[in-house]
């Protein structure tokens, strides 16, 4: 099962994107619908809301007067938190139930407005953010939904900012004007789901590209997913994409701290289910100093290639990855040499489907760099 988080500000058009994905076969779990379900007449949720906010939030027939509740719940942060405390646990339980009912090969799209506010991004394989500028959203709420302008403004203000949403977005869909085409996105999700289910990883020929300013933000999102799957363990962004200004293959490299080989092997299934299937073991040579075989995982997302190395934190191979990264950040000449080498090799091995030949061809330069890295490390220690 692929878990996709779909979010965006009120009035951004999330429901439109959810509908388009549902038409292609996604199983959509709508948090707003579940929120209504937990406050239906006769539920303990509705009874608790009436107790907290007063009987006047109920209509004469016992149903919820949503406008009356909104006027009270959005009047202050305390009131909003009170409502969330009543509804969120119940919505969470229903969400878990709906996900458990989905087929094993489902692409489950969780349409959830408060994904950012509840810090839930890391629990999904992918997060889609639907964007519309605030003026467009306000016009939609007032013009199309008939919402009071002041109420609409309060609701917009109570939600996450665009910057906060962009920080968690693996996919950013601008829905300010024409409805975005989700064809390519759906193809990505289909490939992603298949790879997760079959524990396969995304691959491709090595192609060096100019430094991408979004790599650090992408790495932060993925590192949080890895850490969550691994029980909160330390994750380091390493490799060329971690060096500002350095041309690199568009592949994010990470190392995950483990205590020993047994721990690494014990994390295999959890990482695979999170979207990072096992590739295999191999030694960190020639720069390792008697370390154990490294466990390599890789990303299942066709739209974001990832390499994940499991290493003992502080061991020789762990230290080398950090020292090499920091040396390149520090030494402009080394960065230029390394960039030129990678550009040459990426052209030479353009047909290499998995990049292993490309990696092997870099090895002589890497071996020669050992003394330079050691000199840098010694200078930092002195």
Annotated binding site: 11-16
**Residue found by looking up tokens 């006047």 in the block:** 56
Q: What's the sign of the alpha-carbon dihedral 18, 23, 27, 30? A: positive
Give the strands of the sheet with 171-174, arranged side by side.
Answer: 27-30, 107-111, 2-8, 126-131, 171-174
- Decide the pairing of beta strands 251-258 and 171-174: unpaired
| CA pair distance 367, 334, nearest whole angstrom | 14
Say which residues have a Cβ less than 8 Å from residue 298's Cβ, sequence separation at least 6: 201, 202, 203, 276, 277, 279, 305, 306, 307, 308
Query: What would the two tokens of residue 317 be?
Result: 């191979």
Which residue ranges are tagged as binding site for ATP? 11-16
3-state secondary structure 304-356: CEEEEEEEECCCHHHHHHHHHHHHHHHCHHHHHHHHHHHHHHHHHCCCCCCCH
Q: Is residue 10 within 8 Å of 4, Cβ to Cβ?
A: no
What is the C-alpha separation between 343 and 208, in angstroms, rounded? 6
CA distance 80 to 85: 9
Residue 281 β-bridge partners:
295
Phi, psi dihedral angles at 177 (to 5 degrees): -120, -110
Distance spanning both ends of the chain, measured CA to CA: 52
CA 127/CA 113 separation, integer angstroms: 12
Quote the CA–CA distance of 278 and 285 in Å, as a whole number. 20
The answer to whether the bond into 286 is cis (omega within 30° of 0) is yes
CB distance 247 to 211 below 8 Å: yes
Residue whose entry in the numeric block shows the structure tokens 């550009």: 343
């Amino acid at each position: 099962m692929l878990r996709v988080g779909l979010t965006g500000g009120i009035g951004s058009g999330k429901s439109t994107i959810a509908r388009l994905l549902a038409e292609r076969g996604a199983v959509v779990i709508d948090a707003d619908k579940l929120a209504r379900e937990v406050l239906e007449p006769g539920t303990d949720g509705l009874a608790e809301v009436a107790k907290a906010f007063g009987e006047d939030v109920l209509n004469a027939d016992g149903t919820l007067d949503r406008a009356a509740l909104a006027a009270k719940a959005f009047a202050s942060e305390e009131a909003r938190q009170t409502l969330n405390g009543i509804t969120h646990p119940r919505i969470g339980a229903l969400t878990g139930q709906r996900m458990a009912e989905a087929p094993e090969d489902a692409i489950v799209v969780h349409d959830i407005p408060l994904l950012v506010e509840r810090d839930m991004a890391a629990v999904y394989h992918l997060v889609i953010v639907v964007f519309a500028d605030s003026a467009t959203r306000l016009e939609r709420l007032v013009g199309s939904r008939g919402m009071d302008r002041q109420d609409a403004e309060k609701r917009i203000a109570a939600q996450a900012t665009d910057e906060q949403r962009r920080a968690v977005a693996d996919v950013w869909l601008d829905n300010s004007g024409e409805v975005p085409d989700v064809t390519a996105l759906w193809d990505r999700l289909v490939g992603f789901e298949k790879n997760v289910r079959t524990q396969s990883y995304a691959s491709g020929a090595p192609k060096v590209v100019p430094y991408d300013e979004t790599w650090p933000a992408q790495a932060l999102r993925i590192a949080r997913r890895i850490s969550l799957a691994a029980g909160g363990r330390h994750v380091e962004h390493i490799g060329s994409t971690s060096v500002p200004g350095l041309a690199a293959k568009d592949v994010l490299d990470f190392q995950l701290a483990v205590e020993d080989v047994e721990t690494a092997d014990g994390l295999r299934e959890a990482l695979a289910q999170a979207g990072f299937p096992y590739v295999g073991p191999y030694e960190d040579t020639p720069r390792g100093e008697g370390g154990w075989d490294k466990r390599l995982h890789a990303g299942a997302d066709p739209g974001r290639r990832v390499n994940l190395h499991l290493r003992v934190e502080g061991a020789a191979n762990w230290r080398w990855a950090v020292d090499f990264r920091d040396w390149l950040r520090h030494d402009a000449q080394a960065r230029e040499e390394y960039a030129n080498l990678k550009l040459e090799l990426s052209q030479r091995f353009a047909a290499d489907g998995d990049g292993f030949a490309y990696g092997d061809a870099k090895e002589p330069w890497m071996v020669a760099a050992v003394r330079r890295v050691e000199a840098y490390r010694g200078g930092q220690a002195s």
